[in-house]
Chains A and B, each alone.
Chain A
């Protein structure tokens, strides 16, 4: 199993550009989520999905869109990049939407917006 994969690993965008961060998992997990991590801070939840076709907002959703058309994929879209979105983005998955189950994280995407 590859686990949780994310592409690209690094990305530089200009302000106003759009892009999609890809996330895929091969563990048949129902719950997937996106976090951002800023220097010296913990992870903040952007969006999450409890299954295909179901998504919802987390703590910091502004400027981001998600969709979940399949169980495996959960892309994160930046509609119009801003310097404040410079961060490291992590995708995670877990078998169910439970605080008692291990979450599996991807390797992250380091995004810089100039």
Chain B
């Protein structure tokens, strides 16, 4: 399992781009990096997943450099509704091996 490390919290202002970096030094060859978002009083929600380089969808972008020892979730032009906990997961194989750590609490300020 890839052990991931991410900041405990981050603050941003509305309209700014937010980058949350996740460190995963022991990532294995077949590990993918997955990010989930959790709003208060809700279950986590899948945001994006990638293996290397850049992946983009309607919600976010995920940048994974060539050495794959870290990854960056980029949220363009955040709004107050993006305030949530963001989890970085690294893993391969079975779903039961994915580990949700403490995540990063992103607070978007007006």
Contact = CB atoms under 8 A, between A and B. Distances in A.
B45 interface: yes
Interface residues of A, number: 29
Contact of B96 (A33, A100, A102, A107): A33
A107 B93 CA distance: 26
Interface stretch (A12-20, A37-45, A71-79): A37-45
Contacts of A107: 41-43
Contacts of B34: 99
B97 A99 contact: yes
Contacts of B102: 40-42
B96 A42 contact: no
Contact of B95 (A41, A97, A108): A97
A104 B44 CA distance: 8
Interface string A17-43: 000000000000001010100001111
Q: Which 9 pairs across A and B sit closest by C-beta, in order of nearness? A: A105-B43, A42-B100, A43-B100, A102-B46, A99-B91, A42-B101, A90-B43, A97-B94, A48-B96
Contact of A92 (B43, B91, B97): B43
B99 interface: yes
A102 B98 CA distance: 11
A108 B42 contact: yes
Interface in B27-41: 32, 34, 36, 41
Contacts of B45: 105
